[in-house]
């Protein structure tokens, strides 16, 4: 009989292995799915995960797609480690895009070297401002930030809708709800000729490095983790929980705002009704897939981006439906959660032995073989 | 557990195989690509474009290979997908939503040898055409029928976004309806989406609760029609003949028929005669047609609808014939004149008879 046994302590190696198991299981389940659909499973997996990357353009597109996902995910992981649940990155992204875009539209046709930095700062501040509302409500009135940040996403989208249907509508746009196209100085520079790869990717990599230092080598990172794991210990140590709530929401809001600004100033080049196809929500998956670690988020963001590119490719090359992309993302998350069981439990064969873990108040779970 | 080396080796050889096969594929037939904003299963807008794609496949057989990518968001992703199609040897690419306008223009510049066709936009270039249909002609016919069929004198309209095309549809409907029944009012619910069956159904329910007995829609799913069927009121199908979703409720449907246009443009590329152009077709070109009328509609109403359709076909009837007043009662189209295409294309005002204001 196969059963799960509680580990004495969390397995450090499994924390890193479980995402890899999840990816492998997703591949296997994906191949079974393709076989059932009557498609050659090996060819389908190759089309989905390998072929998008066989050209310079493909790799560039991967980075373009991963940029907002990684940026937002790194920001969110600060909060998630401290048990601050910012679910409203999508709204912060939108307001950041509007704030950054407002600088571009306000100084239309102004070619100043200060324009781009101004847009970046405005984007970050915009995202922070939107995240400040849940931070204020939580620290002042104890409001649940999951609800407030999520609800504010819809408010943010309405603000976007108001602006492009009203004051920001392109005067030459035949009344269609779009802003005018940004002028060249307000467009993020391309860093690889003949592709869409832009400077935002460099900003993202820089963000990964900074986040890694702060998270692992700085007192702030330590405080965040202690508050998340042992709030009581943190308060005995004199860490101020309210400061950390503000700090983590500012980091995640600022990162999302920056991501939004990069989208409108980079691949889109104007303010449109749909700025993000849900990056703020997908980034939550990316953050957990990346183990709330900056480098992990980088890889997880790339993998998630690849599923979108693969989805395009599977449609073009194999006539598979777009739903395949969603199925892959869902399986990835599902298998990750399933594999995470192994962080706290180990698989044992045979009958239960005496309690191994001193803290094992819950009896080891017995499950049948199909369950693994 | 596969060892790392074996796994990497497999990956590498896979990359080479894929690369080689892509290189070998010699171009003997042309490839035509489509980009859809919704799923092909929306049974509305994207579904009808896909019907057009299948018509190409049927007509040209082995000469043409068609490809589509569905549910492509109108933001940064559009340019990637269009580029991918251009890169993979598609010679003619149809991008079928307004939000693809600037991405299509950008990609068209990078691939001067590929022909692009953008639906419902207004930016063109040497290798980028635009095309759209005069759906408002269908709205006129529907408006006449609705004006006669309503008992409560309240029409319910499930609308997507306040863009000129949607405003035009609302105006065409109310002008026609009030021409046969001056008491008619129209109630509008905006769902801020082209395809969201849940929201569309909720909007229809709200409208029915407010007394609307005819549900119309400018969104892509059959959900409003299904609600009408359930609540025993009338409805009008959108983009495709949705009669199977509401056999009792559907009065008729305004059908987008892209088949002829798609076949013609594909043929032009095959013959080498393709030129950039702007097409705005209606009943006359066959781009807009009406689904069979519900048997419950009295014969005289059907006759009236058919007469109007014929009139539009011949050019004797215009859905926006003056005098047309705006909400403030000011005449915007004088008597004896018709609204010109410029006014129709950029329409951003409600005509007299519509309550409320256009949402911002």
> Is pLDDT of B5 > 70?
no
Q: Does residue B305 have a pLDDT over 60?
A: yes
Distance from C-alpha of A105 to C-alpha of A305, rounded to nearest angstrom: 30
On the question of pLDDT at B4 being above 70, the answer is no
pLDDT at A353 (0 to 100): 57
Cα distance between residue A18 and residue A20, in whole Å: 5
B189-193, B249-253, B322-326, B352-356: lowest mean pLDDT where? Answer: B352-356
pLDDT at residue A175 in the model: 80
Helices A89-106 and A115-141, interaxial angle, to 10°? 140
Question: Is residue B356 very low, low, confident or very high in pLDDT (cuts 50, 70, 90)?
Answer: confident
Check residue B360 and give its pLDDT.
Answer: 67
B79 contacts in chain A (CB < 8 Å): 196, 267
**Of A371, A316, A313, A311, residue with least CA distance to A345:** A371
Q: What percent of chain B has pLDDT over 90?
A: 82
Q: Which of B33, B80, B163 sits opposite A176 (nearest CB)?
A: B163
Task: Identify the DSSP state of B59.
Answer: H
A286, A69 in Cβ contact below 8 A?
yes
pLDDT band of residue B27 (cuts 50, 70, 90) is very low
Where residue A364 falls among pLDDT bands split at 50, 70, 90?
very low
Q: Over range A152-156, report the average pLDDT.
A: 97
Query: A-chain residues within 8 Å CB-CB of B80?
Result: 61, 64-65, 196, 267, 309, 312
State yes or no: pLDDT of B20 exceeds 80.
Answer: no
Please say whether the beta carbons of A186 and A119 come within 8 A.
yes
Answer whether residue A339 shows pLDDT above 90.
no
A91-105 pLDDT, tens digit per residue, is 999 999 999 999 999
Task: Check whether B163 has a pLDDT greater than 90.
Answer: no
What are the tens digits of pLDDT across the range B104-114?
Answer: 999 999 999 99
Per DSSP, B192 falls in state S
Q: What band does A367 get if pLDDT is binned at 50, 70 and 90?
A: very low
- Residues in B closer than 8 angstroms to A192, CB to CB, are none
Give the integer Cα–Cα distance in Å for B281 and B148.
Answer: 27
A166: chain B residues, CB-CB within 8 Å: 360
Give residue limits of the domains in chain B. 28-133, 135-255+290-345
Please tell me the predicted confidence (pLDDT) of residue A145.
96
Distances (CA, A) of B9 to A30, A299, B154: 21, 21, 68
> pTM for this one?
0.86
Å between A371 CA and nearest CA of chain B: 19
- The CA radius of gyration of chain B, in Å to the nearest whole number, is 23
Q: pLDDT exceeding 70 applies to what percent of chain A?
A: 94
For residue B202, give Cα distances in angstroms to A43, B46, B191, B228: 43, 22, 9, 11
The alpha carbon of residue B115 and the mean position of all alpha carbons in its chain are separated, in whole angstroms, by: 21
In CATH terms, are B28-133 and B135-255+290-345 the same topology? yes
CA A349 → CA A1, A353, A366, B237, distances in Å?
Answer: 6, 11, 11, 61
Where is average pLDDT lowest: A304-313, A336-345, A362-371? Answer: A362-371
Q: Report the residue of B34, B76, B121 to disrupt the A interface, i.e. the one with the largest count of A CBs within 10 Å.
A: B76
- Which parts of chain A are beta strand (E)? 2-6, 345-349
What's the angle, vertex CA A336, arms to CA A333 and CA A339, rounded to 5? 155
Task: Name the token pair of A120.
Answer: 């970046």
More confident residue, B27 or A226: A226
Q: What pLDDT does A11 receive?
A: 78
d(CA A273, CA B184): 33
When pLDDT is averaged across residues A275-300 and rounded to a whole number, the result is 93
Q: φ, ψ for residue A270 (rounded to 5)?
A: -170, 175
Inter-chain contact A175–B347, Cβ cutoff 8 Å? yes
- Measured between CB atoms, does A54 come within 8 Å of chain B? yes
- Tell me the backbone φ, ψ of residue B105, rounded to 5 degrees: -60, -45
Q: Which residues of B touch A313 (CB under 8 A)?
A: 84
Residue with tokens 């306008």: B101
The angle formed by the CA atoms of residues B358, B95 and B136, to the nearest 5 degrees, is 40
Summarised one tens digit per residue, pLDDT across range B55-65 is 999 999 999 99
Q: Which two tokens stand for residue B269?
A: 């590329």
Q: What is the pLDDT of residue B28?
A: 57
On average, the pLDDT of chain A sits at 90
- Quick one: average pLDDT of B281-296? 95
Structure tokens at A34: 């393709």
| ipTM given for this complex | 0.86
Q: Which helix (H) or strand (E) holds B331?
A: strand B331-333
Neighboring chain A residues of B346 at a CB cutoff of 8 Å: 174-175
* Structural contact between residues B195 and B189, judged by C-beta atoms closer than 8 angstroms: no
**Who has greater pLDDT, A316 or B355?**
A316
Residues of chain A neighbouring B17 (CB-CB closer than 8 A): 46
Contact between A298 and A70 under an 8 Å Cβ cutoff? The reply is: yes
Q: What are the tens digits of pLDDT across the range A83-133?
A: 999 999 999 999 999 999 999 999 999 999 999 999 999 999 999 999 999
Compute the average pLDDT of residues B176-204.
94
Q: How far is B85 from chain A (nearest CA, A)?
A: 8
How would residue A362 be classed by pLDDT, with cut points 50, 70 and 90? very low
Q: Which CATH architecture has domain B135-255+290-345?
A: 3-Layer(aba) Sandwich (3.40)
pLDDT in the model for residue A126 = 98
Over the stretch B143-161, which tens digit does the pLDDT of each residue have? 999 999 999 999 999 999 8
Query: What's B321's DSSP letter?
Result: B
d(CA B95, CA B68): 10
**Which one of A43, A57, A274, A310 would you mutate to disrupt binding with B, by most B Cβ within 10 Å of its Cβ?**
A274
Of the candidates B93, B159, B161, the one whose C-alpha atom is nearest the C-alpha of residue B131 is: B93
Q: Is the peptide bond before B323 cis (omega within 30 degrees of 0)?
A: yes
Q: How far apart are CA A149 and CA B357, in angstroms?
A: 30
Mean pLDDT for B107-131 is 95
Question: What per-residue confidence (pLDDT) applies to B26?
Answer: 41
SS3 call for B137: helix
> Are the C-beta atoms of B33 and B67 separated by less than 8 Å?
yes
Of B22, B85, B164, the CB nearest to A174: B164
User: Testing the interface with A: which of B1, B41, B75 to mutate, by most A Cβ within 10 A?
Assistant: B75
Q: Kindly tell me if the per-residue pLDDT of B2 is higher than 60.
A: no
The predicted structure's pLDDT at residue A352: 60
Judge: B76–A268 Cβ closer than 8 Å, yes or no: yes
In this predicted structure, the answer to whether residue B282 has a pLDDT above a threshold of 80 is yes
Residues 6+ away with beta carbon under 8 Å from B13:
none
A-chain residue closest to B80, CA distance:
A61
The CATH class that applies to domain B28-133 reads alpha beta
Cα separation, B65 vs A254, in Å, equals 46
DSSP-assigned states of every residue in B214-267: EEEESSSSSHHHHHHHHTT-EEEEEES--GGG-TTTEEEEEEE--HHHHHHHHH
pLDDT class of B140 with cuts at 50, 70, 90: very high
H or E element in which residue A287 lies: helix A279-289
- Asked if residue B25 has pLDDT above 50, the reply is no
Closest in A46, A165, A263 to B162, CB measured: A165
Cβ atoms within 10 Å of A278's Cβ, excluding its own = 11
The helix/strand/coil state of A206 is helix
Q: What is the pLDDT of residue B169?
A: 96
Domain spans of chain A? 68-305
Q: Tell me whether residues B19 and A313 touch, CB distance under 8 A.
A: no
């Amino acid at each position: 009989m196969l059963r799960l046994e509680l580990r004495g302590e969390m397995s450090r190696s499994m924390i890193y292995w479980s995402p890899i198991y999840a990816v492998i299981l997703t591949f296997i389940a994906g191949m079974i799915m393709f076989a059932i659909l009557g498609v050659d499973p090996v060819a389908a997996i190759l089309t989905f995960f390998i072929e998008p990357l066989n050209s310079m353009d493909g790799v560039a597109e991967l980075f373009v797609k991963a940029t907002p996902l990684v940026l937002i995910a790194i920001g969110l992981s600060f909060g998630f480690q401290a048990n601050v649940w910012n679910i409203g990155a999508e709204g912060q992204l939108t307001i950041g895009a509007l704030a950054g875009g407002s600088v571009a539209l306000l100084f239309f046709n102004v070619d100043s070297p200060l324009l781009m930095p101004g847009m970046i700062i405005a984007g970050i501040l915009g995202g922070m401002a939107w995240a400040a509302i849940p931070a204020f409500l939580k620290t002042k009135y104890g409001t649940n930030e999951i609800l407030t940040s999520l609800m504010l996403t819809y408010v943010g989208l309405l603000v976007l809708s108001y602006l492009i249907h009203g004051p920001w509508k392109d005067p030459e746009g035949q009344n269609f709800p779009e802003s005018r196209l940004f002028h060249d100085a307000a467009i993020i520079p391309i860093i690889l000729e003949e592709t869409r790869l832009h400077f935002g990717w460099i900003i993202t990599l820089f963000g990964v490095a900074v986040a890694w230092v702060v998270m692992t080598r700085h007192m702030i990172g330590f405080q965040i983790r202690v508050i998340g794991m042992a709030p009581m210990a943190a308060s005995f140590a004199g860490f101020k929980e309210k400061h950390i709530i503000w700090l983590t929401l500012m980091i995640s809001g600022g990162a999302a705002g920056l991501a939004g600004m990069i989208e409108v100033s980079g691949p889109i080049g104007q303010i449109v009704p749909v700025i993000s196809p849900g990056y703020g929500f997908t980034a939550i998956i990316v953050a957990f897939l990346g183990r709330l670690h900056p480098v992990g988020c980088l890889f997880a963001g790339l993998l998630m981006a690849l599923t979108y590119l693969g989805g395009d490719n599977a449609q073009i090359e194999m006539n598979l439906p777009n739903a395949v992309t969603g199925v892959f993302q869902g399986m990835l998350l599902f298998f990750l959660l399933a594999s995470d069981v192994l962080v706290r439990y180990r698989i044992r064969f045979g009958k239960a032995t005496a309690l191994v873990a001193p803290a094992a108040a819950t009896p080891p779970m017995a499950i049948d073989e199909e369950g693994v | 557990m596969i060892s790392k080396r074996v796994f990497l080796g497999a990956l590498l050889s896979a990359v080479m195989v894929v690369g080689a096969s892509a290189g070998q594929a010699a171009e003997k037939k042309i490839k035509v690509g489509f980009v859809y904003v919704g799923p092909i299963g929306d049974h509305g807008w994207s579904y009808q474009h896909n019907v057009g794609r299948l018509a190409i496949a049927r007509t040209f057989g082995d000469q043409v290979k068609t490809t589509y990518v569905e549910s492509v968001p109108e933001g940064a992703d559009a340019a990637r997908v269009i580029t991918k199609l251009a890169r993979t040897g598609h010679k003619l690419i149809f991008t079928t939503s307004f939000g693809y306008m600037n991405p299509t223009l950008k990609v068209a510049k990078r691939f001067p040898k590929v022909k692009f066709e953008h639906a419902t936009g207004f930016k063109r270039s040497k290798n980028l055409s635009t095309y759209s249909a005069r759906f408002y002609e269908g709205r006129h016919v529907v408006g006449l029928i609705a004006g006669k069929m309503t008992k409560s004198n309240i029409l319910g309209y499930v609308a997507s976004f306040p863009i000129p095309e949607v405003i035009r549809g609302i105006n065409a409907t109310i002008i026609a309806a009030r021409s046969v029944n001056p008491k008619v009012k129209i109630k509008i619910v905006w769902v801020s989406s082209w395809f969201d069956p849940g929201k569309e159904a909720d909007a229809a329910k709200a409208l029915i609760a407010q007394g609307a007995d005819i549900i119309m829609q400018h969104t892509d799913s059959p959900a409003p029609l299904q609600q009408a069927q359930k609540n025993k009121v009338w409805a009008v199908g959108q983009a495709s003949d949705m009669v199977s979703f509401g056999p009792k409720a559907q009065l008729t449907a305004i059908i987008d028929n892209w088949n002829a246009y798609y076949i013609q443009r594909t043929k032009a590329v095959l013959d080498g005669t393709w030129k950039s152009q702007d097409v705005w077709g209606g009943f006359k070109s066959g781009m807009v047609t009406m689904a069979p009328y519900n048997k419950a509609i009295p014969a005289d109403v059907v006759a009236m609808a058919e007469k109007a359709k014929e009139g539009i076909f011949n050019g004797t009837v215009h859905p926006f014939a003056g005098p047309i007043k705006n909400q403030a009662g000011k005449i915007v189209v004088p008597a004896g004149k018709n609204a010109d295409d410029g006014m129709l294309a950029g329409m951003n005002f409600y005509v007299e008879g519509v309550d409320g204001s256009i949402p911002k």
